[in-house]
Structure 1
Amino acid sequence: MIVAGLGCRKGTSAENVLSALDAACSQAGISRESVTALATGEIKRDEPGLLELAGKLVLPLHVLDETVLKQAEGRTKTVSKHSLAQTATPSLSEAAALAGAGEGSELIVARLIANGATCALARSKDHR
């Protein structure tokens, strides 16, 4: 399973979030269709661009609470001062990707920023 962890500025369009996802997939050398789920933090639960993108791609959007994100934060690779101030997590997108992909998952693309959105990709440990 490959999970895309997503973050964005308030009001970021689905198209701009998609451009971050596509850039991350390109960096990983995978197709967008390889992504099996999207994940974000509670702070982004009602973000229209994320909800629209999940519907457009017909992928589940897992909204993870702060406790779950905190458990994954030791495995994140980047630090965003903005993310720390808003979510108390060094990288919302990386923590969401890792937590969404499960225990033992690994980042295959660290937080990538594009058009007001961030995306990180994590692969579950049992992914073949």
Structure 2
Amino acid sequence: MIAAGVGSRRAVSADEIEEAVHLALCCFSVAASSLEILATEREKAGTAVYVEAARRLGLTLIGVSSGDLGHAANRVLTRSARALEAKGVPSIAEAAALCAAGANARLLGARVATARATCAIAVGDTE
């Protein structure tokens, strides 16, 4: 299972989310066709921009609870003071990717960032 986790600032657009996902795929040499899930924090997963980005990318959109993001916090590679202050977790993108990728998930590297979005790619077992 391969998942893209995305974090964003408030005024993000679907285009910017897509840009962050494509940048991460390129950075980690992952084919877009192998990506299965777009994950973010639960509160943002229901917003129009995330729904639209997932539709355009042809991905299943998953909203991850704050509790689950917190459980993955010790496995993230990047710590964001902004995310920690706003959401109580050190990384939205990396934690969401880890949560969504399934059992034994691992990050392919630190999240990548655009002006208003971050994206991390995680790979997990397909059990």
Which 5+ residue runs of structure 2 have no aligned equivalent? none
Q: Deviations over 1:17-60 (max 9, x none)?
A: 11111110001111222110011112313333211101112211
Q: 1:100 Cα deviation (Å)?
A: 0.6
From the superposition, tell whether residues 28 and 47 of structure 1 become closer, same or farther in structure 2 (CA, over 3 Å). Answer: same
Give the structure 2 partner of residue 15 of structure 1.
Answer: 15
Give the structure 1 partner of residue 94 of structure 2.
Answer: 94
Q: CA RMSD in A?
A: 1.5
Give aligned-pair identity as a percent.
34
Runs of 4+ in 1 over 4 A off after TM superposition: none
**Residues 53-68 of structure 1 aligned to structure 2 (within 5 Å):** 53-68=53-68
Give the structure 2 partner of residue 4 of structure 1.
Answer: 4
Which 5+ residue runs of structure 1 have no aligned equivalent? none
Alpha-carbon distance in structure 2 between the residues aligned to 1:19 and 1:109: 18
SS of 1:10's partner is: coil
* TM-score (ref. length: structure 2): 0.92
* TM-score (ref. length: structure 1): 0.92
